[in-house]
Every structure is written in C-alpha cells, then in structure tokens.
Amino acid sequence: MTTRGKIVLGALLAVLLYFGINKLVSSGAVFKKAEAQSVLLNSIELPTATGGSRANIAVPLAPLPSATPAEKGSQVVWEVMAWNSQMAGMLANGGPRTTQGSSMAANGLNMQIVRQDDVSKMQADLVKNAIDLQNNPETPGLIVSIMGDGLPAFSAVQMQLQKAGTSLQILPYSCGKSFGEDKLMGSKEWLDNPKSALGKTIACYLRDGDQNIALKWCADNGLKVNPDETTYDPEAVNFMAASDFLVAAEKYIVGKPESRTKVVNGKNTGVRIDVVADGVATWTPGDVNIAKQKGGLVNIVSTKDYSNQMPNIMVTTKRWYDAHQKEVSGIMTAMAVAGDQVKSHPEALQRAADISAAVYADQDKPGAYWLKYYKGVSETDRNGEVVELGGSKAFNFADNLTLFGLDNGGTNIYASVYKTFGDVQKRLYPKELPSYVPLDEMLDLDLLRKLQEQYKGKAIAPAETQKFAADDEIRQSVSKRAWNIEFETGKSTFTPETQRQLNQLFDDLVVAGRLKVAVHGHTDNVGDPQRNQQLSEDRALAVEHWLEQRSSSAFPDGRVQVYAHGATEPVASNASPEGRAQNRRVEVVLGN
C-alpha cells in the first residue's frame, strides 16, 4: 500500500473511533371522548432549551453509506412517523433497510424502517410483537418512535403489554427533536391578545404532542380549555378532533362546520351552534399545506419556543430490550455517529433527507422537500403573510447526555417534560388516562452511562446550548401568568406550602428552554411604598435564585431577569383582603 493510501486508511479509522450518540421520539395515544367542564390549567412549563447557538468541533466527513442492502445482522423493525427529527437515524441505516457501509451495519444491525403515522397501530404492533417474541424469541424486535411529550398518553398500552407478560421500555437515546416544526397556528390577533382565542376552536389530533403545544400556551396565558371535543364553550378554547396531523390542517383549509351543543360553566344550554376550525395544531407538511392552500394563520407558538418539549423517543418492549442489550447499544452508537455527521456535513444531511423521502414514500415530496423543511424556512402564504415552516434538529451523543441529565450533574430535561404533560393529560382526560406509567419504570440510563464512560477522555462534538444575554430584554412575549407563590409576611422567604408551585414552575420553564424568563414582583399597598418596592424585588430575586440553584444548566446566566413593581400595578382593589391577596403576586413572562 502506498504512503498516501495508508494516510487515507488511517484517517478513516480515526473517524470510526471519533463519534458520540443520538436521541429519541414521541407522540400520543388514542382516547375516547370525555364529557367534562372547561378547565383552567396550571401553567405548563417545559425544560430549558438545547437548541440554540453552538460552536461545533469539526467532525471529519465519513464515507456515506452505499445503496446496497447489508443483508446481515440482527433484524429489527423501526416504525416512524413522517417526521424530520429522524435524520440521524435515516443516515445511520443507509436506506429503508440497512445498507452496506452504514453505521447500523457496522454495529451488527439489519434494520427495516417503516412509516407508521397511526399511533394506535403502533401500540397494537408492540403488543403483537411482544406475543410473537414470547412464542419465538428469534422474532425481529420492534421499536417505535413517538413524540416525547406524548409518551405518558402512549403508555396506556402498558396494560395490554402486561397481559402479554412484558412492559414498555425506552431506549435511552434520542435521534433528534422538533424545533419549530410542530406548532399552534392561529389568527395574528392571538399573538397580541391571547384572550381573543377564547371561544375559538383548534383542530388537532387529540391527546398528542401538537395538542400539548396548544394546551401549554393556554395554560401559560391563563386561558380555560374545553376538553370535550363534542361541545362548544364560548368562554374557553375548544378543540376539533382530527384523525391525524394532516387531517387537522385539512379541516381548517376546507372550513366545514361542525354542530356542537353550547355549554356555559359546564352546563348544557340545549343550544346548537356551528363551529369551524379557527386554528390548527400540526406539523410539517400540515403547516406547509395551510400556508400554500389557504393561508390566514400565523405561528402562535412552536417547538422552537418550547424547545425541549418534543424529543424523538424510541420505545420497545422490555422483553426484547433485556434480551438484546448488545443490539440496543449498537443502535445508540450508530445513531451517535450519524448524528455528528448530519449536524456537521451538508452531504450527510442531504443523504439523510433522500433516505427519508424513500421511507415516507410521498411521491410529491423528494429529498429536497424534507431537507428544506428540516432546516426550517420563512415563506409567504397565499395571503401574503410571512410564516415560519418546518424546523427540526438531529441529536448527537453529547445532546443525549444533556437531554437525560448526565452532563456534569445537569437536569434530566426529559423527566420534566414527561411529568409536565403526563399531569396535564391526566387532569383533562381522567377517564381515558386515570394514571400514566412512572418514567423510572420505563427508562434505565445504564446503557447511556456505559457509553458515556466509554467516551470519557475522547474528543466528541459538543451538545447544542442556548446562550442568553443578561441585558437583552424580551421583545416578543409568548405568555404571561401570575403564580401563587407564597412568602412569609413582609419577607422574601417562601412558605412551606409554595414548594409545589415552585416545582411546577421549574418543570414548566425547563420545557420552554429557548425562551427568556422575566420574573415580576408585585405587592399590595399596605406599608411604606419604598419598602414595598424593595420587597417586590427581593421576592422576585428569591424566585430567580431558587431556579438557578435548582439547575444551573436549565437556567444559565442571563436567562432569568428580575423586575420590581412594588404596589404600582394592582390587578384588583386593595380595599379588601381578597384584592390585596391578588396583588401580592409574582408574574412570569416568557418570550424572546
């Protein structure tokens, strides 16, 4: 071999030793209708962002996988929705079925990627696979990717799995996340005045990640929601059921009315009223279809704002997981290698987009389509309004350490996401989801820790981190809500009863990781004005310090700003004890 050949071979070997690991997916579960009174949700806060600016270590471009089937390796099926967060997994596999030269083939896998947009079918397939594995351990395993915030609802399948003698298990790795692609679209008026959304109807796939975006926005802005999709409440935000995210967009585009019974304060008035979809919770290509076919809606809030809400979480059965630890580690390693490639090299991302097009098999959507909306673009809709469309992120190994809290004592971001939306769905739909599976019963981080130990001391591409400038004011508010955080009388010391509120505030803000946090302190008018001014500042600072001490990774320098107003901005009369109690408050504003 020539000296040049040896150098090239050495470089290739160095590439194979160089890489890190990737991330997981999510969605929701199918539920029955619930007759319920409209609900004013507690604020829904999300884990802090890992999707901002970063300086990436240069990762050498590895040889791209071939188009030739590998035909060897442990067989496994991966069911996915048409979702751009899976670019790293696509490149890792080389094609709809594992190809030669791919990182999956290098790790001994022979994977078939299958599109499956029906969440209930995913659940049924997992149960069937569990039974098949029980009868024949050589049956190929099944992994499904869902939206991470939808996993609590998806976990309703646990009962059926237990009848088959097993349970749900999360692969401790995520290949990426939604970063703008999933969104709530509505009237431009909703941006400036969220209360104008009251009495409006949002089309979406219920009990799923996109509805969660709408629910969080409503909670953050103090808007009641009507959980019963068969009734209409003029004093709440209503929902219109769609069979999937594309149908949700179609309901707005077509504008066909639905006849509903009007309810007021939870009581049936006997009055019938026609409602149409005034807004939509969807993802790409649903948002693209709305913009191109009708227009009239803008992005109210998206996973670019709630940047930690929707990691791609992969789940399987414990039966397969426990018997195939080597294969699970191989999948994680393969996606880690591919994640660095997708994030670092346009050629690798383009190949991943072409593989996505082959997997999703939409004739009018080639690789260029998925590439365009993976990056996210601003386009003019049919009415001339500029809207942001698409937007996802691939994860590497370091991103996964951040997601699961293994980076220098960081916060387990996904744990906050899971609990936040599990509690929301349980409250809104108690009949369909009386409880959800505790995360620690499905998530074991041992394999991720082992890989972390394996990579210790080696140079790997860093995780994406969000940077905040301390003097950068919030210019566009996403939400504003008063929190019932109680303090000792005349002091900035929390009462014991306020711990639950603080914990919920923490989880809420972790989910909305890309947004700045403004904490506004207010008092009543009792006492000296100057003393009240100082007290309001001390109380706002106490909230800031509590958040930063709880997690420096979720609340880095510059993310939280403090404002003191004393008694100058009352929301009720100070003439009564009740009014004064309302004025002694802490308001939290999220924005960018």
Write the CATH number for 552.
3.30.1330.60
Q: Model confidence over 58-83: pLDDT tens digits?
A: 689 999 999 999 999 999 999 999 99
The partner residues of 388 in beta bridges, in order of sequence, read 378
**DSSP codes joined into one string, 9-58:** HHHHHHHHTT----B--B------------EEPPP---PPP--S---PPP
pLDDT classification of 18: cutoffs 50, 70, 90: very low
Token readout for 37 is: 């009174």
Widest pairwise Cα distance in the chain = 91
CATH number reported for the structural domain that contains residue 117 in this entry? 3.40.190.10
Residue owning tokens 């006997």: 270
Q: Let me know whether 482 and 392 are in one domain.
A: no
Q: Let me know whether 142 and 200 are in one domain.
A: no
Report in angstroms the alpha-carbon separations of 563 from 158, 479, 539: 46, 16, 10
Q: Any idea what the Cα angle at residue 502 is, between residues 498 and 503, rounded to 5°?
A: 120
* Closest C-alpha among 129, 175, 184 to residue 26: 175
Q: Model confidence over 78-135: pLDDT tens digits?
A: 999 999 999 999 999 999 999 999 999 999 999 999 999 999 999 999 999 999 999 9
Last-in-domain residue among 240, 269, 295:
295
CB 533 within 8 A of CB 558: no
* Within-domain flag for 569: yes
CB 201 within 8 A of CB 279: yes
* Within-domain flag for 45: no
With residue 320 as reference, give the H or E element that holds it. Answer: helix 318-323
Q: Let me know whether 162 and 232 are in one domain.
A: no
pLDDT at 112: 98
Q: Let me know whether 325 and 380 are in one domain.
A: yes
CB 305 within 8 A of CB 296: no
Q: Let me know whether 13 and 124 are in one domain.
A: yes
Token readout for 325 is: 């630890």
* Within-domain flag for 212: yes
- Find the length of the chain: 592
pLDDT at 456: 82
From start to end of 117-265, where are the E strands? 141-147, 168-170, 176-178, 183-186, 201-204, 224-225, 231-232, 238-241, 258-264
The answer on pLDDT for 394 being more than 80 is yes
Q: Model confidence over 342-382: pLDDT tens digits?
A: 999 999 999 999 999 999 999 999 999 999 999 999 999 99
CB 89 within 8 A of CB 65: no
Q: Let me know whether 359 and 400 are in one domain.
A: yes
Q: Let me know whether 175 and 190 are in one domain.
A: no
Cis peptide bond N-terminal to 285, omega within 30: yes
Q: Let me know whether 437 and 313 are in one domain.
A: yes
Report in angstroms the alpha-carbon separations of 152 from 34, 144, 198, 212, 372: 18, 15, 27, 12, 31
pLDDT at 484: 83
Q: What mean pLDDT value characterizes the chain?
A: 89
* Within-domain flag for 211: yes
What is the Cα–Cα distance from 383 to 297, expressed in whole angstroms?
Answer: 9
Count how many domains the chain has: 3
DSSP letter at 341? H
* Within-domain flag for 470: no
Q: Which amino acid is at 279?
A: G
pLDDT at 535: 95
Higher-confidence residue of 587 and 456: namely 587
From start to end of 230-339, where are the E strands? 231-232, 238-241, 258-264, 267-275, 279-282, 298-302, 312-317
The partner residues of 348 in beta bridges, in order of sequence, read none
pLDDT classification of 261: cutoffs 50, 70, 90: very high
The answer on pLDDT for 49 being more than 50 is no
Higher-confidence residue of 40 and 128: namely 128
pLDDT at 371: 98
What is the Cα–Cα distance from 264 to 266, expressed in whole angstroms?
Answer: 5
The whole domain housing 167 covers 3-28+71-180+308-455
* Closest C-alpha among 410, 370, 442 to residue 172: 442
* Within-domain flag for 163: yes
* Within-domain flag for 40: no
The partner residues of 144 in beta bridges, in order of sequence, read 79, 315
* Closest C-alpha among 344, 340, 339, 342 to residue 354: 342
pLDDT at 370: 98
**Average pLDDT of the residues in 256-284:** 96
Q: Let me know whether 171 and 206 are in one domain.
A: no
Specify which of 26-30, 86-90, 410-414 reaches the highest per-range mean pLDDT: 86-90
Q: Let me know whether 22 and 168 are in one domain.
A: yes
Q: Let me know whether 145 and 79 are in one domain.
A: yes
Tell me the torsion sign for CA atoms 501, 504, 508, 510: positive
Last-in-domain residue among 403, 421, 455:
455
pLDDT at 200: 98
The answer on pLDDT for 41 being more than 90 is no
**Average pLDDT of the residues in 162-170:** 98
* Within-domain flag for 539: yes
DSSP letter at 150? G
pLDDT classification of 279: cutoffs 50, 70, 90: very high
Q: b/e per residue, 246-269, with b = 16+ CB within 10 A?
A: bbbbbbbbeeeebebebbeeeeee
Report in angstroms the alpha-carbon separations of 330 from 87, 103, 130, 230: 17, 9, 21, 47
Last-in-domain residue among 295, 328, 356:
295
Q: Let me know whether 451 and 539 are in one domain.
A: no
Neighbours of 304 (CB within 10 A): 22
Q: Any idea what the Cα angle at residue 332 is, between residues 330 and 337, rounded to 5°?
A: 95
Tell me the torsion sign for CA atoms 434, 440, 441, 445: positive
